[in-house]
Amino acid sequence: MGGAQARLSNRFMWFCMAPVIVFLIVVSLAPTIVAIVDSLRELSLTVFTKRGAFIGLENYRELLSEDAKFFTAISKTVMFVAVVVPFEFIFGLAIALYINHEFAGRRLLITLIMLPTMIAPVVVGMMWRYLLMPSFGLLTYYLQQMGFLAETTIFSDEFTAFAALMIIDIWEWTPFMMLIMLAGLTAMPQEPIEAAHLDGANAWQVLWHVQLSFLRPLIVFAVMFRAIEASKVFDTIYILTGGGPGNATETIAVFAFRTTFIKWDLGYGAAICLVLAFFSLVVAALFFKVTSRAQER
Amino acid sequence: MSGVRLESLCKSFGDITAVDNVNLTVADGEFVVLVGPSGCGKTTTLRMLAGLEDCTSGRIFIGERDVTDTHPKDRNIAMVFQSYALYPHKTVAQNLGFALRIAKRPRDEIDRRIQEVAEILDIQDLLDRKPAKLSGGQRQRVAVGRAIIRNPEIFLFDEPLSNLDAKLRTTTRSELIKLHKRLNATMVYVTHDQVEAMTMGDRIVVMEGGLVQQIGTPLEIYDDPDNRFVAGFIGSPAINFLDAQIAVGRSACEARFAGASLKLPKSHPAASRADVVLGVRPEHLLIAPGSGIGVSFQATVETVEHLGAETLVELALDGKALTVRSGRLENLASGQPVEIGVHLENILVFDPGDGQRLRPPNGAEM
């Protein structure tokens, strides 16, 4: 009786999980397997010989040993992540600390602050595109009035184009950091903070010695999440610069897109994506290892 | 060390008055306990003293210094929290030394003070551990250590024993009393446990509804409560209350209850009332008292609880329960009728309306 019931319960469990498992296989596992297979084949639509032929690790060899554009894209991505994530974290934490108390209109303010994160990235891109248009962009006009961008437009200069993309990403994702930090601050017990005040600590010392220690697991999560997300940034760059001028704003995701859907080299594009996924996994694993060790200490 | 003075201290949260016109002077080196049920305003008073809550009105003095608007860090106060409030990411030594580190004391002085405090509290072996690896009692010691390492002017305790088990609570209670004697420090201690209040305080402040109900030494509060609330809150088992009707004669008046009669002088404030409430401590109800007792009446034994050295007897009297605390009694049975007696001086009279104690004009009860 007991065994029959256990079997029934087991079957019911699989029945409940089946839709999710099928969904994951269709949208995640199957494409990954297809990508792995594709990355081992010659799948350039501009090549007429050997198309579809199995070429082993040739795509990977070429990517990792010969392709200077790949390493440029990697360095651009690293730079992008290294700049935007710390700023998003610092601004997000600062706003969270500032609004971490009850006041009239707090909920409305949080909702307004969250707007940039809630808007679809493509819409964000379009919005900034209009704001920064060379001829009639509102922001361009004001920047020119202030004496900036007199001789050039924002997206025609390598430095300003990349800086603008970073600022837009910071504008878009700081609210996300703010929300995570605010959740942490709200859930934090107040007594250790009060104890620190009584121990003579000022606001900075309380932040450094008490609040940041409590927030550490959340900071790890938020920074890691944002670092992985920022390394995949695509939509806004595609809308605003398309990776240009030249390849000045060509991050790894844009590079993969251009390779796959501009040059139509599907096998090489798959290899780029898989290398990117592998690096993301390694970084995430390292991050977890380091932080869990820090937690244990 | 310094004393503390609270003058007309009030705290409101919106429409709710949490602390209502509290006046209290704590002498230098005194151990004062604020006691009362949950929501009585004791913790809010303590937090205002610490600077963790703003006062709605009133002034707070530490020594002669008005600290009403002073930030907590500048009040030179140490506080032990109910949850201990240890810094979970720091070791015991770092927890202890935190305040000194913030004050930028020299490294060797910090180390020396940590060792001294660890010795006082017998936690030398725990210095490298994180709070998560400590038992409740050990955390409590670290929290106390974090307070005493600074030599503050005032120590505040917010129900520091409530998370400990009964046995550890008793031990820690006596350790805190010894610590107070050793440091001769001014301490303000908040608890809802009247046993803690009675055993620890030089003086007790009983609070209810944001108001101070009575201030006095433990025995003053126990023997001579100002109102029905204080009489009922202090004492375990709780005091017995009996409803009585007043009958006024030519030269005296009587409080009648359960067929018994208590004679009161005509000048007693009870004489101007139709009803009063009589209060008798369980140990003052005597079973089979013999002759010469002030008041006696019949009651029925409901339950008998043998505690070894003493016996608690619950009696039924006109549908109400009375508790008697007596020396060891072995021959009582449930349902047995017994004669109960009370000495007149052990009967407290209260107004049934506002609960205030009705004392005879000359100060003597009867």
- Residues of A whose CB is below 8 A from B51: 197-198
For B200-227, the pLDDT digits (tens) are: 999 999 999 999 999 999 999 999 999 9
- Secondary structure (3-state) at B21: strand
- Residue B66 is predicted with a pLDDT of 95
- Residue A19 covered by a domain: no
For B309-340, the pLDDT digits (tens) are: 999 999 998 888 999 999 998 888 899 999 99
Distance from CA of A190 to the nearest CA of B (A): 8
Distance between CA A87 and CA A173 in Å, rounded? 10
A→B contacts (Cβ < 8 Å), by residue, are 189, 191-192, 194-202, 205, 209-210, 213-214, 216
- Each of the 297 residues of chain A gets a pLDDT tens digit; together they read 567 888 888 999 999 999 999 999 999 999 999 999 999 988 888 777 666 788 888 889 988 888 889 999 999 999 999 999 999 999 999 999 999 988 889 999 999 999 999 988 888 888 888 888 877 888 888 888 888 776 777 888 888 899 999 999 999 999 999 999 999 999 999 999 999 999 999 999 999 999 999 998 899 889 988 998 898 889 889 988 888 788 889 999 999 999 989 888 899 999 999 998 888 888 888 877 877 766 665
Residue-number span of the structural domain to which A143 is assigned = 68-296
- Residue B47 is predicted with a pLDDT of 96
- Residue A94 covered by a domain: yes
Annotation: CATH topology of B238-350: OB fold (Dihydrolipoamide Acetyltransferase, E2P) (2.40.50)
Strand B77-80 and strand B154-158: the pairing is parallel
Instruction: Pick the residue of A190, A193, A194, A198 with the most B CBs within 10 A to test the interface with B by mutation.
Output: A198
- Residues of B whose CB is below 8 A from A214: 88-89
Scanning every residue of chain A, which has its alpha carbon at the shortest distance from the alpha carbon of B87? A192
- Residue B355 is predicted with a pLDDT of 94
Helix axes B136-148, B107-121, angle to 10 degrees: 130
The answer to whether the CB atoms of A191 and B83 lie below 8 A apart is yes
- Residue B364 is predicted with a pLDDT of 47
For B233-260, the pLDDT digits (tens) are: 999 899 999 999 998 887 778 888 888 8
CATH classification for the domain delimited by B4-232, as one of 3.40.50.300, 3.40.640.10, 3.90.1150.10, 3.90.180.10:
3.40.50.300
Instruction: Pick the residue of B43, B89, B146, B163 with the most A CBs within 10 A to test the interface with A by mutation.
Output: B89
DSSP structure class, residue B236: S
β-bridge mates for residue B208, sequence order: B211
- Residue A26 covered by a domain: no
pLDDT < 70: residue spans in chain B: 1, 291, 362-366
Cα distance between the two ends of chain B: 44
- Residue B365 is predicted with a pLDDT of 47
CATH number at residue A257: 1.10.3720.10
Distance between CA A68 and CA B191 in Å, rounded? 72
B→A contacts (Cβ < 8 Å), by residue, are 50-52, 71-73, 75, 77-79, 81-90, 98-99, 102-103, 146, 150
Scanning every residue of chain A, which has its alpha carbon at the shortest distance from the alpha carbon of B94? A209
- Residue B245 is predicted with a pLDDT of 92
The answer to whether the CB atoms of A189 and B85 lie below 8 A apart is yes
- Residue A207 is predicted with a pLDDT of 94
The answer to whether the CB atoms of A195 and B72 lie below 8 A apart is no
- Residue A172 covered by a domain: yes
Strand B286-287 and strand B65-66: the pairing is unpaired
- Residue A150 covered by a domain: yes
- Name the residue ranges covered by the structural domains of chain B: 4-232, 238-350
How many domains, chain A?
Answer: 1
β-bridge mates for residue B300, sequence order: B316, B337
Cβ neighbourhood burial of B139 (10 Å; 0-12, 13-18, 19+): buried
The percent of chain B in helix, strand and coil, each rounded to the nearest 5, is 30, 35, 35
DSSP structure class, residue B221: H
The 3-class SS string of chain A reads CHHHHHHHHHHHHHHHHHHHHHHHHHHHHHHHHHHHHHHCECCECCCCCCCCCECCCHHHHHHHHCCHHHHHHHHHHHHHHHHHHHHHHHHHHHHHHHCCCCCCCHHHHHHHHHHHHHCCHHHHHHHHHHHCCCCCCHHHHHHHHCCCCCCCCHHHCHHHHHHHHHHHHHHHHHHHHHHHHHHHHHHCCCHHHHHHHHCCCCHHHHHHHHHHHHHHHHHHHHHHHHHHHHHCCCHHHHHHCCCCCCCCCCCHHHHHHHHHHHCCEHHHHHHHHHHHHHHHHHHHHHHHHHHHHHHHC
Cα distance between the two ends of chain A: 49
Query: Could you tell me if A34 and A20 are in contact, meaning their C-beta atoms sit under 8 angstroms apart?
Result: no
- Residue A121 covered by a domain: yes
